[in-house]
């Protein structure tokens, strides 16, 4: 097969390693440029994969406790027709389960120890279909102990440890918004019995969440009925879109319902992760850009060294466009080789971090993520093509742009001037 001579010459210049010390030096610089591109692309893929892994792990632990979407009364009061609201929400094909709930802030005390906490009233009959932690508690037989009127409670493992309580111990729940008396507002006090603990793997919930029966919660918080409905979706990533759809549907039906999804309930965490990932991507892309524009110096040196070759090609009838194509092909090939090498290296490392990181930890006798400090004790990785494809395309574009000026310089070489001193 006869390839265009521009491609053949460009490939020859790319792989040239013989022909004198200068050629070998130019070949070395070209190799360094390709290695720099490969290293930058690999680093970008690995770092974003690790960030995706952390995001996925923390999100899964968070969503094991909270619902994907919540429907609340606009007035902030109870929701007497919660079943009708749940049935209306289930008409959306993305909604797979619904459960009533009551949520509020309270103080939990045992003796002189007192902790602020979020109290969530749940229905043991519906909650396992919505949150994984409730399903796990149901398997353990703990959820069935939340019987209305018996005033039982399930605490997060860290909260129970801080209070120093065990199963069967009595604790006091204090609700700040209590009864109004001539002496002022008196907090509502209610004694509960600890019937179990849960561990979600997320410190915020393990140390600050208490689960009681929804009927008991409605009494202590004086809502009378559930304050809202929790929903589970088929795809958690569609929570914002589904939440917006449900909000429109509720408004269309004339229901005074406020819809919020998990990304808004945990807006600080969600937005921080998105900003960190975006900024890290920009910083590492600049590293790839620096490596790609090293091709400029490589091609400028090659053009200077190959002026006699350019002059001979011009005298044989090669057009300035063909000369420009030769050096664009050389630079583009270096960019393609570097990008593909980085892509392969990045994917290999990202898919094998669970093996590589423990090996390095054993080799250095250290632990990168101590379980006593961090929520996650292993290095998670989740390579996503939505990150990999833009990285690859951006690297190729930067490498191509870097070839334009040196290639244009080569096309402007005058044969007579180039051969004057040959």
- Asked whether residue 187 falls in the same domain as residue 304, the answer is no
Average pLDDT over residues 354-373: 76
**Pair 245, 281 in one domain:** no
What is the domain extent for residue 175?
67-263
pLDDT value of residue 18: 47
**Do 24 and 76 fall within a single domain?**
no
Region of poorest pLDDT, from 11-20, 34-43, 230-239, 337-346: 11-20
Q: In terms of pTM, does the model score above 0.85?
A: no
How high is the pLDDT of residue 120?
A: 92
Looking at the structure, tell me whether residues 164 and 92 fall in a common domain. yes
Model confidence at 105: pLDDT above 60 = yes
How distant is the alpha carbon of residue 235 from its chain centre? 15
| Closest-CA residue to 196 (of 238, 148, 248, 146) | 146
Angle ∠(192,198,204) on CA atoms, nearest 5 = 95
Q: Rounded to whole angstroms, what are the CA distances from 298 to 30, 32, 279, 353?
A: 6, 10, 30, 34
Number of domains in the chain: 2
Instruction: Report the distance separating Cα 210 and Cα 194, nearest Å.
Output: 10
Higher pLDDT pick, 140 / 365: 140
Q: How far apart are CA 56 and CA 51, in angstroms?
A: 8
Q: Flag whether pLDDT at 298 surpasses 90.
A: no
The answer to whether 219 touches 104, Cβ cutoff 8 Å, is no
Q: Which residues contact 80 (CB under 8 A, 6 or more apart)?
A: 224, 225
Examine the domain organization and report whether 90 and 179 are in the same domain: yes
* Whether residue 95 sits in one domain with residue 237: yes
Q: What is the average per-residue pLDDT within 332-341?
A: 87
Do 338 and 249 share a structural domain? no
Q: Are 98 and 188 in contact (CB under 8 A)?
A: no
- Report d(CA 103, CA 71) in Å as an integer: 12
Which residue, 210, 245, 263, sits at the end of a domain?
Answer: 263
Can you give the three-state secondary structure of 147-186, one letter per residue?
Answer: CCCCCEEEEEHHHHHHHCCCCCCEEEEEEEEEEEECCEEE
Q: State the Cα angle at 227 between 221 and 230, rounded to 5°.
A: 130
Tell which residue, 336, 321, 333, 326, has the closest CA to residue 303: 326
How far apart (Å, rounded) are the C-alpha atoms in residues 254 and 133? 34
In this prediction, residue 347 has a pLDDT band, given cuts at 50, 70 and 90, of: very high
| pLDDT tens digits, one per residue of 367-403 | 776 655 566 667 788 888 888 898 888 888 888 888 8
Q: What is the DSSP string of 44-113?
A: HHHHHHHHHHHHHHHHHHHTTTS-SEEEEETTSS--TTHHHHHHHHHTSTTEEEEEEEEEEEEEEEETTE
Q: What's the confidence (pLDDT) of residue 151?
A: 92
pLDDT reading at 193 higher than 70:
yes
> Among 263, 291, 313, which residue terminates a domain?
263
Q: Cβ contacts of residue 165 below 8 Å, gap of 6+? A: 110, 155, 171, 194
Pairwise CA distance, residues 149 & 79, whole Å: 20
User: Which residue's entry shows tokens 């130019």?
Assistant: 26
Tell me phi and psi for residue 317, to 5 degrees: 110, 5
Angle CA 160–162–163, to nearest 5: 65
DSSP annotation string for 229-282: EEEEES-GGGHHHHHHHHHHHHHHTT--EEEEEHHHHTHHHHHHHHHHHHHHHH
Which pLDDT tens digit goes with each residue over 30-40? Answer: 777 788 888 88
Are 56 and 141 in the same domain?
A: no
pLDDT for 25 beyond 70: no
CA angle 111, 66, 353 (to 5 degrees): 105
Q: Which pLDDT belongs to residue 230?
A: 93
Highest mean pLDDT among 16-25, 126-135, 251-260: 126-135
Dihedral sign computed on CA atoms, order 272, 276, 279, 281:
negative
> Higher model confidence: residue 389 or residue 322?
389
For residues 388-418, one letter each, b for 16 or more C-beta atoms within 10 angstroms of the residue's C-beta and e for the rest, the string is beebbebbbebbbbbbeebbebbbebebeeb
38/349 Cα distance (integer angstroms):
13
Of 263, 279, 297, the last residue of a domain is 263
The verdict on 182 and 133 lying in the same domain is yes
- The burial class, CB within 10 Å (0-12 / 13-18 / 19+), for 385 is exposed
**Same structural domain, 52 and 137:** no
In terms of domains, do 149 and 181 share one?
Answer: yes
* Residue 381 CA to its chain's centroid (Å): 10
- Note the pLDDT of residue 194: 92
pLDDT score for 179: 60
Average pLDDT over residues 240-264: 86
Lowest mean pLDDT among 48-52, 135-139, 160-164, 278-282: 278-282
The residue-averaged pLDDT of 96-111 equals 89
Domain shared by 299 and 409, yes or no: yes
């Amino acid at each position: 097969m006869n390839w265009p001579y521009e491609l053949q010459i460009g490939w020859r210049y790319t792989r040239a390693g013989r022909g004198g010390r200068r050629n070998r030096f130019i070949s070395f610089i070209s190799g360094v440029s390709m290695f720099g591109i490969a290293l930058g692309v690999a680093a970008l893929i690995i770092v974003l994969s690790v960030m995706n892994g952390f995001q996925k792990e923390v999100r899964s632990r968070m969503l094991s406790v909270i619902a994907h979407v919540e429907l609340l009364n606009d007035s902030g009061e109870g929701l007497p027709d919660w079943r009708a609201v749940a049935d209306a929400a289930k008409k959306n094909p993305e909604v797979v389960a619904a459960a009533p709930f009551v949520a509020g802030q309270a103080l939990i005390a045992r003796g002189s120890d007192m902790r602020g906490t979020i109290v969530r009233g749940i229905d043991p009959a519906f909650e396992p279909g919505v949150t994984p932690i409730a399903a796990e508690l149901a398997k353990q037989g703990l959820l069935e102990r939340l019987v209305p009127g018996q005033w039982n409670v399930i605490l997060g493992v860290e909260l129970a440890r801080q209070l120093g309580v065990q199963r069967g111990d009595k604790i006091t729940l204090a609700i700040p918004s209590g009864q109004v008396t001539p002496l002022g507002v008196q907090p509502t006090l209610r004694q509960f019995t600890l019937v179990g603990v849960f561990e979600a793997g997320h410190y915020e919930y393990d140390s600050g969440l208490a689960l009681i029966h929804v009927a008991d919660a409605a009494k202590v918080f004086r809502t009378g009925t559930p304050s809202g409905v929790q929903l589970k979706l088929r795809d958690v990533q569609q929570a914002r879109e589904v939440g917006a759809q449900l909000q429109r549907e509720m408004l269309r039906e004339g229901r005074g319902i406020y819809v919020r999804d998990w990304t808004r309930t945990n807006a600080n965490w969600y937005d921080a992760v998105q900003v960190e990932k975006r900024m890290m991507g920009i910083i590492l892309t600049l590293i790839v850009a620096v490596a790609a524009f090293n091709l400029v110096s490589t091609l400028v040196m090659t053009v200077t060294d190959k002026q006699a070759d350019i002059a001979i090609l011009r005298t044989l009838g090669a057009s300035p466009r063909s000369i420009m194509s030769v050096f664009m092909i050389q630079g583009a090939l270096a960019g393609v080789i570097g990008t593909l090498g980085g892509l392969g290296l990045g994917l290999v490392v990202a898919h094998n971090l669970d093996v590589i990181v423990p090996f390095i930890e054993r080799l250095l006798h250290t632990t990168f993520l101590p379980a006593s400090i961090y929520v996650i004790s292993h290095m998670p990785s989740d390579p996503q093509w939505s990150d990999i494809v833009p990285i690859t395309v951006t690297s190729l574009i930067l490498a191509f742009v870097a070839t334009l000026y040196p290639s244009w310089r080569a096309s402007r070489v005058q044969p007579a001037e180039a051969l004057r001193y040959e």
